[in-house]
Chain A
Amino acid sequence: MAQKNANGLNQDPGPERPAMTLKRRQRPGENVIQSLLFIAGFFSIFTTLGIVYELGKEAWLFFRLPEVNIWKFLTGTQWQPHINEFGILPLVSATLVTTAIAMLIAIPLGLAAALYLSEYASKKTRNTLKPVLEILAGIPTIVYGYFALTFVTPLLRTIFGSDIVDIYNTGSAGLVMGILILPLITSISEDALNSVPRSLREAAYGLGATKLEVAVKIVLPAALSGIAAAVILGISRAIGETMIVAVAAGAGPNFTLNPFKAAETMTGHIVRISGGDLSYDSIDYNSIFAIGLMLFFMTLTLNIISQRIVRRFREVYE
């Protein structure tokens, strides 16, 4: 990177270039283009600033309202805007339940699939199975929502009884979310497993280890940082996932950890409140920004942790 940039800079007709007979021609066009490209590059900063500013501003307006108390917002167990109860815990608990179920599905299955693809599968099998898993990642989340509501929920109701399982429940949303996140965990973990050098495996085989022992005791620990990053990224994805919970988890905040009951997650609430024409400066309008701000910081923190893990704990093999 640095080397390439240095090369690039050397070519740049800068002013300190020694004046020879080949005089540098002024090229205002080049400068204009470079400025435009810089603006394009800087656009992402605008986006981030926009997110932080807008979420922050409207959330600030929300917390300044007389009906709202920031302490009650963070610890209240009731979210009922019509009687001015704004406790975010019911929304957070539903998010946690769906995320936990999703990860319970996605981590073991995703990791096992990654181990199979990278350690066991022949090249041919791998080249067939991997694209199929990637299709799973490319299906729009609304389709998963439909799947959760029309397939998984009836299935759960048949297994556990329809008096126990609600028509809308966090369980089916979580299960399907797990399937959605599975390929994400698989592909990142598989990359991590693949980057473990062959020599490590061969050394272990040379000492008489079986294939399983090589995979679990040698390769897996060596790739742990990449896998941890994948898991954290998966959690962040699950927290921010919207359409599955909006369709299948139910409408109406409900402070419960029971996966068979209907409950509304943070994202699900934002979608329901803002569907239809939401009038500006209403308390509902401001409240989605407060929830959004919380969501943004939760996912941002997880993403940054994930990047840190990759950078700090990555084993570097020549």
Chain B
Amino acid sequence: MKNAENRKKGPEDGTRVRDSVLSSSLSNLPSRNRAGRTWQLVFLSSTVIGILALTALLLNILDSSFGFVVLHARTDPATYSVNGVGLEDQTKDQLVALLQSELSSGAYNKLNNEKSFESRSRAEVYGIVIERLVKYSVEESWSLWQSITRSGEIRTYAAEHYPGDKLTFLSWLTADFVSRPQSSEAVTAGIRTAILGSLWTIFITILFAFPTGVGAAIYLEEYAADNWLNRIIRTNINNLAGVPSIIYGILGLAIFVRLMETLTSGALFGLVDSTTANGRTILSAGLTLGLLVLPVIIINSQEAIRSVPQSLRKASYGLGATKWQTVWFHVLPNAIPGILTGTILAVSRAIGETAPLVVIGASSAISVDPSGPFSKFTTLPIQIYQWTARPQAEWRHLAASAIVVLLAMLLSLNAAAIVVRNRFARKY
């Protein structure tokens, strides 16, 4: 607008050039504005594409976690009917009696020892009957979307191709799925072993990486003079943060699994787990992940310590405190929210880490719960990897359900980080 007014003032010597520039820039203004709007749309849609990808990823996982399945019974449940009463309608005592007569006495006693049949509910006993006697296997499965939109088709298809088998809508993700151990049959497989393995591994990781990382951060921020050695340490930490995780796996294989086998297998303490007897244990895995997240913890803790104002330290020194007293009683308490937030985020990275653990040797399928740091192990991401790698569709459903559990764990950790940050954050 102002430009137009300027132009009306008439030709003066100095402004002639400027006028021509102005008029040309004004004449192309609509097209420039149009370009601006177009590109703004392009920029916005790029952002939206990222969000769409996230949505597609989540929907894809949920889509696989539920759906129709055709179940084939190894033994027809009708054979266990008593006086025409089907399995579903039998009382708990009848079911227990059935188990006692059909299972070998060893298997029956083992179940009874785990948890006595008197204390089990009817639903539990029924579950055991289904798992041990009827033994369903998955013949074919469909995703949630297919099950909703084409349920009629699926019903006729199943009736045609699998006469006598049971078509049922199944939620792969159940409380049982979380609490059952690994199994070779998709319907009865669970992730308890994997979750326990993940928790044990993370426990070792934190035990190692948290004190070391915070210690290193305190050293670098509070003690280290600005000399070449400390500069190398700083640069080195930044470089380590960029090393691919699989390299840590190779390092862990060479150092923890092989070189330190007597320590990591538990032989040093006479605690060798009879099933392992080598270094491919939870301890090795935890230490490897510890090395992996160490740079992240150090960098985050350094930032937290750096944000504690100098005045606090000076006040402490002014009162005659020593260096360590200042750090311990004044710097750390004020930096701890930041340190904890950083650590939680690092831990959530470690929980989802798969590649280094595969290299270390977590891959063998196991169904025995880990009993300590010297046990063989599998973790949740490893379990997901193995199930995803299998070609049959039913394992993909299990992988999707395990992913839901993994994401829920990560989400709650991140929520915890936010709570810690908001609750304890101090403003100076």
Which residues from chain A sit less than 8 Å from chain B, CB to CB?
1-2, 4-5, 7-9, 11-13, 27, 29-30, 33-34, 36-45, 47-48, 50-51, 54-55, 58, 108-110, 112-113, 115-117, 119-120, 129, 132-133, 135-136, 138-147, 149-151, 179, 182-183, 186, 208, 210-213, 216, 233, 236-237, 239-243, 246-247, 267, 270-271, 274-278, 280, 288-289, 292, 295-296, 299-300, 303-304, 307
Q: Is the CB of B294 within 8 A of A43?
A: yes
Which residues in A have their C-beta under 8 angstroms from that of B44? 116, 120
Residue of A nearest to B45 (CB): A112
Asked if A140 meets B251 with Cβ closer than 8 Å, knowing A13-B322, A108-B46, A213-B32, the reply is no
Q: How far is the CA of A239 from the CA of B246 in the complex (A)?
A: 11
Q: Is the CB of B49 within 8 A of A44?
A: no
Q: How far is the CA of A136 from the CA of B364 in the complex (A)?
A: 30
List 13 extra interface pairs beyond A140-B351, A243-B355, CB under 8 A: A4-B310, A8-B323, A36-B215, A41-B215, A132-B50, A142-B354, A150-B388, A210-B32, A212-B35, A267-B244, A277-B361, A292-B250, A295-B244
Asked if A48 meets B236 with Cβ closer than 8 Å, knowing A116-B43, A120-B43, A135-B54, the reply is yes
Which residues in B have their C-beta under 8 angstroms from that of A133? 47, 50-51
Residue of A nearest to B385 (CB): A142
Number of B residues near A (Cβ < 8 Å) is 97
Q: Is the CB of A211 within 8 A of B40?
A: yes
Q: Mark B296-316, 1 if CB is under 8 A from A, else 0.
A: 001000000000001001100
Task: Please name the 8 residue pairs, one residue from A and one from B, whose CB atoms are nearest each other, closest first.
Answer: A240-B244, A140-B352, A40-B215, A112-B46, A116-B43, A242-B355, A212-B36, A41-B219
Q: How far is the CA of A108 from the CA of B50 in the complex (A)?
A: 12
Q: How far is the CA of A213 from the CA of B53 in the complex (A)?
A: 29
Residue of B nearest to A13 (CB): B322
Residue of B nearest to A242 (CB): B355
Q: Is the CB of A1 within 8 A of B226?
A: yes
Which residues in B have their C-beta under 8 angstroms from that of A115? 43
Asked if A48 meets B239 with Cβ closer than 8 Å, knowing A146-B403, A295-B244, the reply is yes
- Our pick among B36, B57, B218, B353 for the contact of A151 (Cβ within 8 Å) is B57
Which residues in A have their C-beta under 8 angstroms from that of B64? 150
Residue of B nearest to A267 (CB): B246
Shortest Cβ gap from B120 to chain A (Å) = 35
Q: How far is the CA of A8 from the CA of B218 in the complex (A)?
A: 12
Q: Is the CB of A183 within 8 A of B50?
A: yes
Q: Mark B241-261, 1 if CB is under 8 A from A, else 0.
A: 011111101110111001000
Residue of B nearest to A36 (CB): B215
Assess whether B233 is interfacial by the CB under 8 Å rule: yes
Please indicate which of the listed interface residues B39, B232, B313 has the most CB atoms of chain A within 10 Å of its own CB.
Answer: B39
Q: How far is the CA of A274 from the CA of B247 in the complex (A)?
A: 12
Q: Is the CB of B50 within 8 A of A182?
A: yes
- Our pick among B36, B212, B250, B255 for the contact of A270 (Cβ within 8 Å) is B250
Which residues in B have their C-beta under 8 angstroms from that of A288? 250, 359
Interface of chain A, helix or strand or loop or mixed?
Answer: helix
Stretch from B91-99, B110-118, B163-171, B406-414 at the A interface: B406-414
Residue of A nearest to B383 (CB): A142
Assess whether B348 is interfacial by the CB under 8 Å rule: yes
- Our pick among A1, A4, A274, A300 for the contact of B358 (Cβ within 8 Å) is A274
Which residues in A have their C-beta under 8 angstroms from that of B60? 147, 150-151
Interface of chain B, helix or strand or loop or mixed?
Answer: helix
Shortest Cβ gap from A162 to chain B (Å) = 15
Q: How far is the CA of A48 from the CA of B242 in the complex (A)?
A: 12
Which residues in A have their C-beta under 8 angstroms from that of B253? 274
Q: How far is the CA of A27 from the CA of B407 in the complex (A)?
A: 49
Shortest Cβ gap from A10 to chain B (Å) = 9
Q: Is the CB of B226 within 8 A of A299?
A: no
Please indicate which of the listed interface residues B42, B385, B388 has the most CB atoms of chain A within 10 Å of its own CB.
Answer: B388
Residue of B nearest to A51 (CB): B251
Which residues in B have their C-beta under 8 angstroms from that of A216? 39
Assess whether B424 is interfacial by the CB under 8 Å rule: no
Q: How far is the CA of A4 from the CA of B225 in the complex (A)?
A: 10
Q: Is the CB of A41 within 8 A of B50?
A: no
Q: Is the CB of A50 within 8 A of B255?
A: yes
Q: Is the CB of B246 within 8 A of A140?
A: no
Q: Is the CB of B39 within 8 A of A212?
A: yes
Assess whether B159 is interfacial by the CB under 8 Å rule: no
Q: How far is the CA of A129 from the CA of B49 in the complex (A)?
A: 12
Residue of A nearest to B33 (CB): A210
Which residues in B have their C-beta under 8 angstroms from that of A299? 242-244, 247
Shortest Cβ gap from B175 to chain A (Å) = 22
Which residues in B have their C-beta under 8 angstroms from that of A54? 250-251, 254-255
Q: Is the CB of B57 within 8 A of A139?
A: yes
Q: How far is the CA of A296 from the CA of B211 in the complex (A)?
A: 27
Q: How far is the CA of A239 from the CA of B364 in the complex (A)?
A: 27
Residues 385-410 (chain B) with a chain A CB within 8 angstroms: 385, 388-389, 396, 399-400, 403, 406-407, 410
Q: 16 interchain pairs (CB within 8 A)?
A: A5-B225, A34-B223, A38-B219, A41-B230, A44-B295, A109-B49, A112-B43, A136-B50, A138-B410, A143-B384, A146-B399, A208-B3, A212-B40, A239-B244, A240-B247, A243-B385
